[in-house]
A and B are shown apart, each in its own frame.
Chain A
């Protein structure tokens, strides 16, 4: 990560400059603070939201929905995708289905899922899960099939049973892929949860952003967006930390 320090410095400098310029412009009435919000306004919204309002609870709700959706949807997709390795003929059929499933704009299923599972957290977890499932399954299926043919032959020449090949070769060889599936799917799960909250909910950051928007409270909308961005960043960082621990053998490659 050391070599990125220079880039991080530049990005931080640009961001801080933009925020200062934004605040100055809003104070001097060069831009319409009502329609665009301002950094200080966002700060005040944050203080009020976290001390008096239910912002902390909203953050918690969205985090739980996203995490559960991510883990259940991607987890199931990965397990099924890897298991398809046992059935090469079936995998062609299933793969076509999952490509079809993946082309559905999952968000469009939102109203349907809310009718089925209500306006509580369950429907958001479903939406987040569905948003990640197909991608996970397709990638895991591809990962299992990408395994080096020579390695497969090596296992065969040792007369290894198929279950053993799966356990000792296919699964470990797919681990780096599995982590990249999780990293990509953080964004998809978050979209699923937030859009579900837009459609019908009583809590969550999506709900907070939606309500603030209809009240023209632009500062609170910005605040919600910022927390969502931070949440995605933190989740990505956590996945990376776990990956570095698990895939330590890969570091020096």
Chain B
């Protein structure tokens, strides 16, 4: 039994360019995520964040190394769900049909599934549009449907690739809270890729800075914020430690930039 929900051991991956040159993205990367933990990965563009997600979700097979996914408490195998910046809703399906897509691709959708989907849509204030088509929804609403679709497939690990970067600030804070509360209620683990250091600190238990080529973890920061009660996206940003973490991570990012430029 794995101690963590997701473990990455000695992961190496390389692309072969058209001219035969080998580009090493990762070399012997080690990384883990615990249960109900939110880990944010920050790094400059091209650091390999999206490739890492494609490897974890199985869209790409690694050149070497091992990615192991822990089981559920009841012993069934765990599963990974992936959410991108684009909502990727199918325009010919209603909101409810979009929400249950992940289930539908595995097995027949039951009435119980639909009831659960409606309950989750209701939680995000979307019950009134369950039978509408995606074009009539705002960007934030669509992204919430995408989140619903991701969660309805019962993942143990959720991968979020810049999921909120196209949204306005207010909607963004709401969705950040949705994700934070998810780890509390469902004990789901989350890996979040973001450009936004604020978002990384506000949401996560741990921030990992990825830099260099091949990419390695150049810094790891455990986030402990003193807030009253449970932390949320707004109170986190007001915590006294927040600017300290911000400075640390910013410096780490800049340092990896310089290292990268020197290669």
- Which residues of A pack against B, CB within 8 Å? 148, 150-151, 153-160, 164, 168-169, 172-173, 175, 247, 249-250, 252-253
Q: Is B81 an interface residue (CB 8 A)?
A: yes
Shortest Cβ distance from residue A175 to the other chain B in the assembled complex, whole angstroms: 7
**Chain B neighbourhood of A159, CB < 8 A:** 105-106
Complex alpha-carbon distance, A151 and B136, angstroms: 20
Distance, CA A175 to CA B92, complexed state (A)? 10
Interface residues of B in 100-145 (CB under 8 A from A): 101-102, 104-106, 133, 135-136
Separation of A159 and B77 alpha carbons in the complex (Å): 14
Please give, as numbers and ranges, the residues of chain B lying within 8 Å of A175 by CB-CB distance.
92
* Range class of the B interface residue count: 20 to 34
CA distance A160 to B153 in the complex (A): 12
Q: How far is the CB of B72 from chain A (nearest CB, A)?
A: 17
Whether A157 lies near B58 (C-beta < 8 A) is: yes
A249 to B134, CA, bound (A): 8
List chain A residues, Cβ under 8 A from B59: 153, 156-157
Complex Cα distance A169/B88, Å? 12
Contact of A158 with B58 at beta-carbon distance under 8 Å, contacts A151-B90, A172-B90 already known? no
Chain A neighbourhood of B55, CB < 8 A: none
**A253 — which chain B residues lie within 8 A by C-beta?**
91, 135
Number of CB contacts from chain A to chain B under 8 A = 54
Q: A153-B82, A168-B105 are in contact. List 12 more A-B contacts (CB 8 A).
A: A148-B88, A151-B88, A153-B54, A153-B59, A158-B81, A159-B106, A164-B105, A173-B92, A175-B92, A249-B91, A250-B135, A253-B135
In terms of DSSP, what is the predominant structure of the interface of chain B? loop
- CB of A177, distance to nearest CB on chain B (Å): 13
Q: Which residues of A contact B58 (CB under 8 A)?
A: 156-157
In contact, A157 and B81 (Cβ under 8 angstroms): yes
Q: Which residues of B contact A169 (CB under 8 A)?
A: 90
CB B191 to nearest CB in A, in angstroms, measures: 14
Is B71 among interface residues, defined by CB-CB distance under 8 A?
no
- The verdict on B57 contacting chain A, using a C-beta distance below 8 Å, is yes
Contact A158 B101 (CB under 8 A): yes
Residues on the B chain within 8 Å of A164, using CB: 105
Cα distance, A51 to B52, chains bound together (Å): 76
Does B84 sit within 8 A of A, measured CB to CB? Answer: yes
B135 and A252 contacting across the interface, CB-CB below 8 Å: yes
- The interface residues of chain B lying within 8 Å CB-to-CB of A151 are 88, 90
CB within 8 Å of A: which B47-99 residues: 54, 57-59, 80-82, 84, 86, 88, 90-93
A249–B92 contact, CB under 8 A? yes
Contacts of B80 in A (CB 8 A): 157
Q: Does A158 lie within 8 Å of B92, measured CB to CB?
A: no
Q: Is the CB of A172 within 8 A of B101?
A: no
B91 surroundings in chain A (CB, below 8 A): 249-250, 253
